[in-house]
Amino acid sequence: MQFHLRLPHSTMLPLALTTLALTSVSAHAQTVIYSPIALPASREINDILSTRDIPTGSGGFARDYTVSLEAGDQVAIDAVSDEFDTLVLLMNKDGVAVAENDDGPDGTTNSLLFARISESGTYTVRVQAYAGQGAGNFYLKVARLREVQ
């Protein structure tokens, strides 16, 4: 015995539109691809750390920037904010932390990191809030230090 369900024509259009709407919702869901921001030629930037940035996995969020560095470079990385306690990391091409700094030598919660680069390549500078606490405006500068001869 077979049963056939016959729907009135007035029900068919809303049912078809609902089915179409449900299938198109999944088409709009896309994975966001990780894409750090290239630092400008000046190697400095004013930016904002927010909850829309990269989740750190330990609470809080991070903002990443790429910079090309050469073997033998000595760099100073300065992260300054009046709105949160900065933490800055320098990572190699594999995402491994080469160096990090929480508080600079001036006694503030701003970060000042010094590093000597051993391998040429593209590095990532990550700015985040210490212990994942806070967000807001910040200034970042990557300066190449010159040796005095």
Residue type, 38: A
Sign of CA dihedral 41, 92, 107, 132: positive
pLDDT of res. 23:
44
Centroid of chain to Cα 132: 13
Domain boundaries, given as residue ranges, for the chain: 37-145
Query: Residue 78: its pLDDT value, please?
Result: 96
- Tokens 């600079």 sit on residue: 104
Burial degree of 142 (CB within 10 A; 0-12, 13-18, 19+): buried
Q: What is the pTM of this model?
A: 0.76
The confidence score (pLDDT) of residue 90 equals: 98
The CATH architecture one would assign to domain 37-145 is Sandwich (2.60)
Q: What is the DSSP letter of 97?
A: E
Q: What is the mean pLDDT of each run of 10 residues along the chain (149 residues)?
A: 52 46 47 84 95 90 96 96 96 94 89 95 96 94 76
